Amino acid sequence: MTDTLVNAAPAASDLPAPAYEVRTLGCQMNAHDSERITGLLEEAGYVPAVDRDPDLVVFNTCAVRENADNKLYGQLGQLAPAKKRNERMQIAVGGCLAQKDRSTIVEKAPWVDVVFGTHNIGSLPVLLERARHNHQAEVEILESLETFPSTLPTKREQAYAGWVSISVGCNNTCTFCIVPQLRGKEKDRRPGDILAEVQALVDSGAVEVTLLGQNVNSYGVEFGDRGAFAKLLRACGEIEGLERVRFTSPHPAAFTDDVIDAMAETPNVMPQLHMPLQSGSDQILKDMRRSYRSKKFLGILERVREQIPNAAITTDIIVGFPGETEEDFQATMDVVEASEFSSAFTFQYSIRPGTPAGEMANQVPHHIVQERFERLTALQDRISARLNQQLVGSTVEVLVSAHQGRKSESTHRLSGRSQDQRLVHFSVPEGAESPRPGDFVTVPVTAAAAYHLLADPKDSTEYSLRRSRGGDAWEAAQAESCGTDGSGKPGTVGLGMPALRTN
């Protein structure tokens, strides 16, 4: 692969190296794929577009909801004038929407140069060179995985934390979901390969790792070990220097007690769980082909909280699935009330062509879906605010993030995540040392809203800073990319993506 990439590098000339920008439209799986795309591009001679217009824009797309289509084609339209002004400029579209739409993308936006799918990310540099040489769009979509993505070069978004894929694809047949068609059947990595990647991340300074899969708790079925995921969590607990382990997303149908035991008994596995509900109606769950019912779902949450009383549980919910009656919706409201989620990702159902649900006749009118959606989000907002308010007066340990809140400049607060993944905006007392992204602070919760906590220590006696290897790694990465003078003072983080302020 390396020889191919070297050959695919942009031809040498008096022009500066072409600058790239990657725009990620999607979930954590997409974001992790974008890290691989940036790694591939930099190995092929591209540089991040910092303080200059990009010569290459790569869209890494999602196809789960209809607004993903609208967002992509809207942004492609906005780039058309720039493409006319810069004859060197190229545009590439990859990810799930590319796998689904294929040549349709070039038909709708003929100024796109490359379309590549979820199975052949590694081909991108070659496809760009081919499109440049042939002066025509290159569309290459494979039906099966070309190479496991984790073998590709990767440029991590943050030095102190990283994603690690344990599997790709999905064996479920949910009627609303197009992901199995686009990413294929589940393919599991061997435990040794996963743990080697985790160890390499820790050796490079990471203090937090998130294990990724479309259905992480079915991990191991492919090689005949149904207990493999729990074993993997415990093995992560043996890695010295790894302070926080998270995972997403499990499936309630396959979620077993050995995973709960591993979570409770492995100190660095965080007290946080994302457990997708989708609907609280047993009839709708049946129509969705979700092979669990509300009683089983609530039973899982009960057993988790028995062993991990402080666990924060989040979820996904779809409102307005075809055939959903008011009674079905009320069942969802009842389960949400009983579940006490710390937060919920709520979505209005949208038809995805190619899915069984998209062909169902009993689609729910939009105005009804909207009204139910507003009722559900209002309920969840109240629950989230109440649960967060109960934390006022407690003390939390926060892993400081490089991504700061929109109001950070006016409030002079920094941001990070607590052990249970709650967002915390905190201030540094006058005279106290400021943390770097990747460091840890321990602070008192002084106020709360529905989706964040505020921590404003009165003085240095209420504030504790623990400088970490993660902070060291962040500082070294900034110095290497000329983001700082090596002092650790925050600046602009250049990731080949839109610039992010860290102060």
b/e per residue, 281-300, with b = 16+ CB within 10 A? Answer: bbebbebbebebbbeebbeb
Contact 154, 136 (CB under 8 A): no
Is 27 within any annotated ligand binding site? Answer: yes
Is 62 within any annotated ligand binding site? Answer: yes
Q: To 5 degrees, how large is the angle CA 436–CA 441–CA 445? A: 130
Closest CA to 202 of 479, 468, 484: 468
Question: DSSP secondary-structure letter at 197?
Answer: H
Q: What is d(CA 104, CA 113) in angstroms, rounded to the nearest whole number? A: 13
Is 96 within any annotated ligand binding site? Answer: yes
Phi and psi torsions of 261, nearest 5°:
-60, -45
Question: DSSP secondary-structure letter at 252?
Answer: G
Helices (H), 416-461: none
User: Helix or strand or coil: residue 66?
Assistant: helix
Chain centroid offset of residue 444 CA: 28
Contact 23, 60 (CB under 8 A): yes
Is 174 within any annotated ligand binding site? Answer: yes
Other Cβ atoms less than 10 A from the Cβ of 327: the count is 9
Side by side, the strands of the sheet bearing 343-348 are 272-274, 312-319, 343-348
Q: What is d(CA 301, CA 250) in angstroms, rounded to the nearest whole number? A: 13
Q: What is d(CA 98, CA 86) in angstroms, rounded to the nearest whole number? A: 24
- How far is residue 145 from each of residues 95, 178, 216, measured CA to CA in Å? 13, 17, 19
DSSP string, 94-140: EEHHHHHHTTHHHHH-TT--EEE-TT-GGGHHHHHHHHHHHTS-EEE
The binding site consists of 27, 62, 96, 170, 174, 177
The binding site for [4Fe-4S] cluster consists of 27, 62, 96, 170, 174, 177
